[in-house]
Amino acid sequence: MHSTPSFSGPLCLGRRTLVGGARPWLMGIVNVTPDSFSDGGLHLDPDTAIAHATRLVEDGADLLDLGAESTRPGSLPVSPADQLRRIVPVLQALRPRVAVPISVDTTQAEVARAVLELGADVINDTSGVRADPDMAAMLAASDCGVVVMHMQGTPRNMQQAPVYDDVVGEVAAWLEERLRVLAQSGIATERVVLDPGIGFGKRLPHNLALLRHLDRLRAIGRPLLIGASRKAFLGELLAEPLARARLAGDLAVAAHARAAGVAILRVHDVRAARGFYRVLDALESGEA
């Protein structure tokens, strides 16, 4: 299974610049939340979250993604104050300990501003920079990387009745429009990563269509981030209700993402994904 070279960049992430290679960069997930769908409550304690994040880097994470607000289906918003209470001690401890870029998953400008001042490199906005009217201007005044994700609806209602005539075409058009709007707001296109929002306002056929046609999304000209790790559509395919038992699905997506030239793969199981890619590389090159 030969890969399409991932986005060759460079991708500017504040003080850090990444250049694409033969496999996606692995973004390790650190949920500092009580209610995330897969690992809610496991890393709510700051010391536990710091240890988990450090271990992900040791396992081979190229980036970290810290989140203090669950976006699982049916979840409700978390106030900026509560997000910062959860995430600030973790970020303060991690920043001097790890050299990899750190992304923070938030839709709130107040949270984004605070974490950037503490050394975060990327803001991962699941609303596509729409939820907070102050977010675009705040991001324009910084030099951080920006992940723009597509979602139909909100986390509270996104899975109630998602409908598309052409999910790939509609998501691609939406992402292109967001790029134009953000550029008009002063956010350089070179700083933006696009995420089609697997599992966010999409049912199984929508998710499969988007993954099968990543070439149409790559044609927009920006690096792609795919976050499918442990999600419900994999549970449907595997007949596996337990999120943490869906590693087979995660590795299948990892293989597909590598072949399709995805730039960033957001994963829970960094060690497994890194080892999986190492074996694929050895099989293709004949070198250990």
The pair of three-digit structure tokens given for residue 229, joined into one six-digit string: 């790790």
CATH number at residue 270: 3.20.20.20
Asked if the structure places residue 250 within a domain, the reply is yes
**Cβ(63)–Cβ(28) under 8 Å?**
yes
Q: How many domains does the chain have?
A: 1
Among positive and negative, which fits the CA dihedral 200, 164, 135, 190? positive
Tokens 């997930």 identify what position?
Answer: 29
Asked if the structure places residue 63 within a domain, the reply is yes
In this prediction, residue 37 carries a pLDDT of: 45
Asked if the structure places residue 59 within a domain, the reply is yes
Active site residues: 231, 266
Q: What is the pLDDT of residues 253-264, one digit of tens each?
A: 999 999 999 999
Q: What is the pLDDT of residues 33-84, one digit of tens each?
A: 775 444 444 566 889 999 999 999 999 999 999 988 877 666 677 899 999 9
Confidence of residue 95 (pLDDT cuts 50, 70, 90): very high
* Partners of 149 in beta bridges: 195
Q: What is the mean pLDDT of residues 82-91?
A: 93
**Cβ(44)–Cβ(34) under 8 Å?**
yes
Asked if the structure places residue 12 within a domain, the reply is no
Q: How far apart are the first and last CA of the chain?
A: 17
Asked if the structure places residue 219 within a domain, the reply is yes
Asked if the structure places residue 2 within a domain, the reply is no
Asked if the structure places residue 11 within a domain, the reply is no
Q: Domain residues for 39?
A: 24-283
Q: Cβ contacts of residue 161 below 8 Å, gap of 6+?
A: none
Asked if the structure places residue 208 within a domain, the reply is yes
Which amino acid appears at position 59 of this protein? D
Among positive and negative, which fits the CA dihedral 51, 271, 12, 255? negative
